[in-house]
């Protein structure tokens, strides 16, 4: 491979996970890419340079970026929105909340430089699908996403039983079940005590 003092140039599609302003004008960007994995990048003068970065560096956006990679933090040189052939409907609150729930999961579970094209494609395709779904479709897509995503991340999650008392998850019982991210497991309401952050699970 040809070496270059400014690092390897990479052009790739990416999902923007988080953006923060640093030192007034620079942007610190958390990205998920298909072949480079999750990356942290700096866009110098990113806040001011509308020509190079415009307003496309925003969380949950599907973008195309060009950057220099010398290992570690990468240096963004350009970014633009990936064109969607259908165009997006107006983003509503449920769409935002669902998208950010997915982004949070990615930020929680995907380590830096973790190259996994399956994870990227699942996240991208789910984010692109969400704005076009009704409430019920959205919940179903989100449930499937959780299962597929955690399984790809190496969490063989058992969604069938409470991880402690082994009670079978069932809609017929009065017992409620919760999914606890930090444990990567499902717990019944009795075994849930003190587990903290959890999502009702059915």
Q: Which positions lie near Zn ion, rule CB under 5 A?
A: 162, 164-165, 188, 191
Whose CA is closest to 127, among 90, 169, 153, 97? Answer: 97
- CA–CA dist 88, 122 (Å, integer): 19
- CA–CA dist 83, 38 (Å, integer): 22
Are the CB atoms for 177 and 201 separated by under 8 Å? yes
Quickly count: other Cβ atoms within 10 Å of residue 98's Cβ: 22
Tokens of 148: 């597929």
Whose CA is closest to 57, among 10, 112, 19? Answer: 19
In the complex with Zn ion, which residue's Cβ is closer, 128 or 157? 157
In the complex with Zn ion, which residue's Cβ is closer, 84 or 202? 202
Nearest distance, CB of residue 166 and Zn ion, angstroms: 7
Residue 200 exposed, middle or buried by CB count within 10 Å (0-12, 13-18, 19+): exposed
In the complex with Zn ion, which residue's Cβ is closer, 149 or 179? 179
């Amino acid at each position: 491979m040809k070496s270059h003092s400014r690092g390897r140039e990479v052009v790739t599609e990416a999902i923007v996970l988080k953006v923060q302003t640093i030192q007034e004008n620079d942007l610190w960007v958390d990205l998920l890419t298909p072949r480079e994995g999750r990356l942290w990048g700096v866009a110098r003068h990113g806040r001011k340079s509308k020509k190079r970065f415009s307003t496309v560096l925003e969380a949950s956006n599907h973008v195309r970026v060009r950057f220099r990679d010398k290992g570690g933090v990468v240096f963004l040189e350009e970014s633009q929105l990936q064109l969607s052939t259908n165009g997006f409907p107006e983003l509503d609150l449920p769409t935002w909340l669902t998208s950010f729930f997915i982004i949070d999961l990615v930020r929680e579970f995907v380590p830096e430089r973790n190259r996994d094209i399956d994870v990227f494609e699942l996240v991208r395709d789910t984010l692109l699908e969400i704005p076009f779904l009704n409430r019920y479709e959205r919940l179903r897509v989100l449930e499937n996403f959780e299962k597929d995503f955690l399984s790809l991340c190496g969490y063989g999650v058992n969604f069938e039983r409470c991880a402690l008392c082994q009670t079978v998850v069932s809609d017929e019982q009065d017992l409620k079940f919760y999914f606890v991210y930090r444990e990567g497991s499902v717990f019944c309401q009795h075994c849930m005590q003190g587990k903290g952050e959890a999502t009702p699970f059915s």
